[in-house]
């Protein structure tokens, strides 16, 4: 499409020619009326007694088994998405293993068990040295050649290497060693690990959304030889029950969005409430954070509109005025704004004010200054990019990233998440958030660069501002292929820094630290196959259906219920979500 086709010119009320860019985004892909009535019927009221029974059975397994079995059980529990039930038990067991020096003992049980323990300890923010793998090196300091045919051990080593820090040479060598031999193994050596190896080599599981990984792993675990029936049953039931919680939240958020009417009023903007909610449940899925999810989805929907105002609608003069209004948060200055900007700001102001009132009503902090500042910082970063685009200026890579990790909206999302989770907030944590902690910057940098890799081509076609790819190309005189390779390497390096910060930063609540990691995972997920948000791909639609629409077949009292029986749409409506 030619750039002229992406521009609209008209005469305003002052007889001035106004030029607006058109992004031509795809329309909404979902039937909201049907979405509001989807339910799988797995309610807490109906299944809570069974959950309590299964939980006690798994807790007994954790306490009764010996260390190696405990390690494998913890790994299965977490991969199946059940870890949030046993946070205290798992942390106690892992701490005990670390304090007792067990990692040095477990090495004798082989590479697989050692790598799994290393990964679990780091996932839980516990410091375990890369030196644990020195046991598997030869006299020359290289990994032993005898390990080259251990498919299970190599796969676990490769997975463990994704949690490495900067300058951990042993883990870099481990990753290269495992990758080399996994790629060259023949079919008879990898056997049942073939799909898992391909999955991990395509994208590290540590980078993938835990909720999607749990859904995938339930199917894998069911086919394993040593499947624990209690654990499998619990995982299936819990997945469906959490899905039911999410479905009820989605119904409320969708109704709010439909009543707001912005999807229809503002035709230039992306209408993506389902994709927003999908992103939110990747960031924070646990049932107890429903309040956080509902408000965060509203924030996300309005954020998308603001993004499109700056990116594809507003003139530079309008954007400068809108930015000043958000900075000062002055309703009386609205009269000079374009109508769509008035509507947008009023709705942002309404939800920010309501979130702040809810916080104080529940005896919490005055969070209003933090939320307003987050919106102001975002709009200022958007304006910087609008000026670059207007001036046809290509910044240096460093200059771009300094602004880009804010403009991608990561800080805004995570500031809201921090307060909406309603966790106990220490003075130290609050001070840390005031200056924007490093963990937020790192997660947002992954978000920014993943977004650029997927959206850069479309941005340039419609005359948008330069992305990190164009900045690096111009600054270094390299091809787009080389620039993309460099951006990918920066993403990998940033993940290493993020891994380290998750362990070193002790002032922030653990659930929030997990949310920061999940923001990076959300970005990898949405932009792995092109722009899964702006132009929802088949992969994104399938992922949304798997988490929010289709339950796992679950047998209770001898009756096997398939997804068509459980996934109901009421009031005689037929779901149109499978577009």
Indicate the class that CATH gives domain 261-548: mainly alpha
Contact between residue 154 and residue 147 where contact means Cβ atoms under 8 Å apart: yes
Count how many residues are written for the chain.
579
Tell me 143's DSSP state: B
**In the chain, where the domains are located:** 46-234, 261-548
pTM, 2 dp: 0.92
Q: How many CB atoms lie within 10 A of CB 123?
A: 21
On whether the CB atoms of residues 106 and 72 are closer than 8 A, the answer is no
Read off the pLDDT of residues 202-259 as tens digits, 9 standing for 90 and up: 999 999 999 999 999 999 999 988 899 999 999 999 999 999 999 999 999 999 999 9
Query: Distances from the Cα of 570 to the Cαs of 33, 51, 319, in angstroms?
Result: 10, 27, 44
Residue 561's beta-bridge partner residues? 554
- Among residues 24, 25, 32, which one has the least CA distance to residue 579? 32
**For residues 88-93, average pLDDT:** 96
450-459, pLDDT tens digit by residue? 999 998 877 7
Higher pLDDT, 1 or 502: 502
pLDDT at 447 over 50: yes
Band of pLDDT at residue 532, cut at 50, 70 and 90? low
**Paired strand residues for 554:** 561
Q: What is the pLDDT of residue 199?
A: 93
Residue matched to tokens 């977004």 = 451
Please, which pLDDT band fits residue 539 given cuts at 50, 70 and 90? confident
Q: Residue 285 — very low, low, confident or very high, per pLDDT cuts 50/70/90?
A: very high
- Give yes or no for residue 11 having a pLDDT over 50: no
Burial zone of 246 (CB within 10 Å; 0-12 exposed, 13-18 middle, 19+ buried) = buried
CA distance 84 to 348: 33
Question: Is the pLDDT confidence value at 84 over 60?
Answer: yes
pLDDT of residue 579: 32
Q: What is the pLDDT of residues 358-401, one digit of tens each?
A: 998 887 789 999 999 999 999 999 999 999 999 999 999 999 99
**Cβ proximity of 522 and 279 under 8 Å:** yes
Q: Identify the pLDDT of residue 131.
A: 95
Among 356, 330, 514, 331, which residue's Cα sits nearest to residue 420? 356
- 556 versus 547: which is more confidently predicted? 547
pLDDT band at 25 (very low <50, low <70, confident <90, very high): confident
Rounded to whole angstroms, how far apart are CA atoms 457 and 9?
Answer: 24
pLDDT at 490: 98
Residue 3's pLDDT is 45
Cβ atoms < 10 Å from Cβ of 223: 8
- Amino acid 505: pLDDT: 86
Nearest by Cα to 408 from 527, 496, 493, 501: 527
Q: Which CATH class is domain 46-234?
A: mainly alpha
Give the confidence band of 558 by pLDDT, cuts at 50, 70, 90: very low
* Percentage of the chain exceeding pLDDT 90: 73
Q: State yes or no: pLDDT of 555 exceeds 90.
A: no
The neighbour count for residue 181, using CB atoms within 10 Å, is 20
Per-residue pLDDT, 19? 60
**Residue 78 reports pLDDT greater than 70:** yes
């Amino acid at each position: 499409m030619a750039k002229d086709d992406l521009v609209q010119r008209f005469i305003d009320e002052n007889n001035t020619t106004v030029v607006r860019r058109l992004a031509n985004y795809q329309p909404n892909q979902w039937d909201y009326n049907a979405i509001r009535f989807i339910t799988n019927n797995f309610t807490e009221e109906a299944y809570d007694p069974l959950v309590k029974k299964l939980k006690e059975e798994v807790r007994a397994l954790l306490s009764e088994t010996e260390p190696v079995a405990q390690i494998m059980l913890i790994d299965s529990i977490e991969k199946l998405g059940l870890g949030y039930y046993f946070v205290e038990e798992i942390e106690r067991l892992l701490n005990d293993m670390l304090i007792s020096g067990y990692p040095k003992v477990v090495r004798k049980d082989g590479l697989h068990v050692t790598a799994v323990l290393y990964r679990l300890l780091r996932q839980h923010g516990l410091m375990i040295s890369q030196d644990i793998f020195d046991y598997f090196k030869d006299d020359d300091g290289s990994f032993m050649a005898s390990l080259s045919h251990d498919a299970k051990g190599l796969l676990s080593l490769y997975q463990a290497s994704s949690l490495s820090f900067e300058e951990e040479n042993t883990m870099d060598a481990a990753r290269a060693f495992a990758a080399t031999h996994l790629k060259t193994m023949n079919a008879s050596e990898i056997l049942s690990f073939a799909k898992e190896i391909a999955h991990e080599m395509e994208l590290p599981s540590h980078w993938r959304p835990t909720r999607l990984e749990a859904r995938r792993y339930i199917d894998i675990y069911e086919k394993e030889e040593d499947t624990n029936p209690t654990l499998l049953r619990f995982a299936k039931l819990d997945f469906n029950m959490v899905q039911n919680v999410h479905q009820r939240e989605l119904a409320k958020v969708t109704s709010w969005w439909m009543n707001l009417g912005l999807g229809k009023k503002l035709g230039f903007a992306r209408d993506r409430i389902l994709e927003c909610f999908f992103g939110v449940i990747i960031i924070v899925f646990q049932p107890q954070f429903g309040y956080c999810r509902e408000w965060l989805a509203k924030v996300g929907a309005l954020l998308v509109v603001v993004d499109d105002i700056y990116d594809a609608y507003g003139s530079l003069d309008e954007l400068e005025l809108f930015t000043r209004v958000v900075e000062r948060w002055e309703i009386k200055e609205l009269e000079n704004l374009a109508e769509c900007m008035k509507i947008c700001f009023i709705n942002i102001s309404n939800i920010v004010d309501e979130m702040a009132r809810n916080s104080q009503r529940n005896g919490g902090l005055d969070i209003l200054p933090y939320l307003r500042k987050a919106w102001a910082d975002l709009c200022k970063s958007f304006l910087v990019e609008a000026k670059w685009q207007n001036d046809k200026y290509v910044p240096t890579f460093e200059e771009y990233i300094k602004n880009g990790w804010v403009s991608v909206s990561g800080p805004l999302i995570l500031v809201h998440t921090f307060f909406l989770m309603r966790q106990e907030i220490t003075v130290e944590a609050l001070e840390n958030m005031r200056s924007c902690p490093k963990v937020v910057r790192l997660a947002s940098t992954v978000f920014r660069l993943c977004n650029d890799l997927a959206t850069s081509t479309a941005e340039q076609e419609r005359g948008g501002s330069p992305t990190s790819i164009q900045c690096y190309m111009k600054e270094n005189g390299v091809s787009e292929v080389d620039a993309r390779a460099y951006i990918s390497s920066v993403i990998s390096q940033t993940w290493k820094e993020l891994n380290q910060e998750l362990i070193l930063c002790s002032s922030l609540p653990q659930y929030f630290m997990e949310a920061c990691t999940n923001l990076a995972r959300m970005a990898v997920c949405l932009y792995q196959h092109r722009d899964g948000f702006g132009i929802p791909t088949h992969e994104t639609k399938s992922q949304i259906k798997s988490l929010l629409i289709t339950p796992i077949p679950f047998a209770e009292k001898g009756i096997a219920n398939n997804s068509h029986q459980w996934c109901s749409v009421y009031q005689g409506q037929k779901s149109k979500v499978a577009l």
